[in-house]
Amino acid sequence: MDFLRPASWEEALAAKAEYPTAVPIAGGTDIMVEINFDHRRPEYLLDLNRIELLREWEVGEEVTELGASVPYTQIMENLRGTLPGLALASHTVASPQIRNRGGVGGNLGCASPAGDSHPALLAAGCSVEVESVRGSRLVPIDEFYTGVKRNALAADELIKSVHIKNATGPQQYSKVGTRNAMVIAVCGFGLALHPDTRTVRTGIASAAPTPIRAKAAEEFLNAALEEGGFWENGKVITPSIAKQFAALASAACNPIDDVRGTAKYRRHAVGILARRQLVWTWEQYRGTTGRPLEGAA
Amino acid sequence: MRVNFTVNGRQQEADDVWEGESLLYVLRERLGLPGSKNACEQGECGSCTVRLDGVPVCSCLVAAGQVEGRDVVTVEGLADFAKQRAEHGHGGACAAGGGCGTKGVSTDEAKRWSARPGDSRTGEGVELSNIQQAFIDAGAVQCGFCTPGLLVQADELLERNADPSDQDIREALSGNLCRCTGYEKILDAVRLAAARQGEAL
């Protein structure tokens, strides 16, 4: 095994071009487990810890560019206002020690269907900036996950940052697990209201071969909200809309039975999370638009 | 490969390090500092928690090569680290080159460190950090395997948050497992340390 220690982003790209099998390591919270347990012996480890730009973020007017290695702790502490869904998701990652090391780049690089940040990224809407010596490109998040632990990266590419749309409305995230810390999601769900475009977006983790959006549920809800004039009048979401949204979110899942839960349970739980989050975010939206919270309980 | 880094305020050099080796392995097997415990090797239990440039991390998940030129504090250096923090208002970042004029803890000193010849139960006669003393006084040490990680993690909590709520303590320690299940006493110990820290101010 060789340990490559590029001092700059350019050096890292050159190293990845020269050794396409090199495995990037930043927080190490995934790859070191595989090495410790002898599940994996990469020929080259490509250390990204010395590359400052991967730990930086910039909040723009509409989009936040989040460096791939910004630790979850920093996201929780500094980006709760602009990226509330991702901040909530970050808070559910493992434990403080892990959150101090891990970042979104690792979740995207591993592309595990259970990654905690995926539902938040899908719901917020974002593009992943990947780069190689050949140049850089922005991959829309909807095209990023290509299979179980597979993503759209070419062998010579590295993840540089994620360009995430700043929240224009309430966002939620929840995860089902046996305890609050150190849990791989049984399933996870994220929801973002986008009042600027009058749309909602969703994200589901651990209930399909890849992280997915519940597109039929989104389309149904977008149409129902539009039709009822909900965005303007801020009415309470009717139980029938919430119920149908939940059913469609469940239907979007394509889960498996495994040690953490059954497919049936996952489908059911995603529906519950979807319904709850719709109510939570919508009540928050109604609250922030200055209308009284009638019968919110 | 060779790795140069600072441990408990002293410059260290580890040789013949395998590229896939963890910081934990380097500390325990190459530098003779077995305070950080090797339990799960997957970041699940927190027993190997150390401060890396001040930040608590699971040393089993840090690749040895990643610590080149960086600053590590282990449980062996915790008392000294806490003392420096009390004296200088910050922890070990003055480590490399001894910017604050303190000497740090050498690996030899650290290797010799032991709760004896004082009373190993009460820690009497031994200079311990506030959090270490509180663990003893609260009876928060059972088999002791999780203790080093908990001490490093709890010390960092009290550094950040002098008056933590129970919720804060639980969350801060959520990545540290105690298989003796002595959590109540551990919580007591952190509360005790927080109270003593408050009195001292």
Closest CA to A159 of A137, A186, A185, A192: A137
CA geometry: angle at B175 spanning B172 and B178, to 5°?
A: 105
Calculate the CA dihedral of residues A22, A30, A93, A204 and round it to 10 degrees.
Answer: 70
Quick check: helix, strand or coil at residue A183?
coil
In a domain, B142, yes or no: yes
Measured between CB atoms, which of B18, B68, B174 is closest to A5? B68
Give yes or no for a contact between A120 and A210, defined as CB atoms under 8 angstroms apart: no
> Model confidence over B80-92: pLDDT tens digits?
999 999 988 765 4
- The domains found in chain A, sorted by start residue, are 171-288 (3.30.390.50)
Nearest-Cα residue of chain A relative to residue B24: A36
Q: What is the CATH number of the domain that holds B24?
A: 3.10.20.30
CB-CB neighbors (< 8 A) of B44 in chain A: 182
Q: Which among A36, A49, A97 has the least Cβ separation from residue B66?
A: A49
What is the value of pTM for the model shown?
A: 0.92
CA geometry: angle at A79 spanning A74 and A80, to 5°?
A: 110
Complete DSSP assignment for B56-96? EEEGGGSBGGGGTT-EEE-GGGHHHHHHHHHHHSS-GGGTG
- Other residues' Cβ atoms within 10 Å of the Cβ of residue A289: 13
User: Could you report the predicted ipTM of this complex, rounded to two decimals?
Assistant: 0.93
CATH number, domain with residue B150: 1.10.150.120
Q: How many domains does chain B have?
A: 2
Q: Which residues contact B97 (CB under 8 A, 6 or more apart)?
A: none
Q: Where are the beta strands (DSSP E) in chain A?
A: 2-4, 23-25, 44-47, 57-59, 63-67, 126-132, 135-140, 145-147, 150-151, 158-165, 171-176, 187-194, 199-205
Task: Mark yes or no for CB contact B46/A95 under 8 Å.
Answer: yes
**How far away is chain A from the Cα of B35, in angstroms, using its nearest Cα?**
18
**Within a domain: residue B36?**
yes
Inter-chain CB proximity A182 and B171 less than 8 Å: no
Distance from CA of B66 to the nearest CA of A (A): 7
Residues of chain B short of pLDDT 50, as ranges, are 92, 95-99, 101, 116-123
Give the DSSP letter string of A129-179. EEEETTEEEEEEGGGTEEETTEES--TT-EEEEEEEEPPSS-EEEEEE-SS
Report the range of poorest mean pLDDT among A48-62, A159-173, A276-290. Answer: A276-290
Give the residue numbers spanning the domain of B194: 130-200
**pLDDT of A297 above 50:** no
pLDDT in tens, A193-244: 999 999 999 999 999 999 999 999 999 999 999 999 999 999 999 999 999 9
Q: Is B101 within a domain? A: no
A96-135 pLDDT, tens digit per residue, is 999 999 999 999 999 999 999 999 999 999 999 999 999 9
Cβ-nearest to B63 among A45, A94, A95: A45
> Which positions 63-102 of A are in contact with B (Cβ < 8 Å)?
94-98, 100-101
> How are the residues of chain A apportioned to helix, strand and coil, as percentages rounded to the nearest 5?
40, 25, 40
Instruction: Look at residue A292 and tell me whether its pLDDT is greater than 70.
Output: no
**∠ Cα A76 A78 A79 (to 5°):** 75
- Two tokens at A56? 């930086």
Residue B50 within any structural domain of the chain: yes
Looking at residue B60, its amino acid is C
Amino acid at B148: P
Contact A181 B174 (CB under 8 A): yes
Confidence at residue A290, expressed as pLDDT on a 0 to 100 scale: 54
| Residue at B110 is within a domain | no
> Counting beta carbons within 10 angstroms of the beta carbon of residue B55, is it exposed (0 to 12), middle (13 to 18) or buried (19 or more)?
middle
Place of tokens 């495995």: A23
B117 found inside a domain: no
Which of B16, B29, B66, B161 should one mutate to test binding to chain A, selecting the residue with the greatest count of A CBs within 10 A?
Answer: B66
Closest partner residue to A28 (CB to CB) among B1, B49, B62 is B62
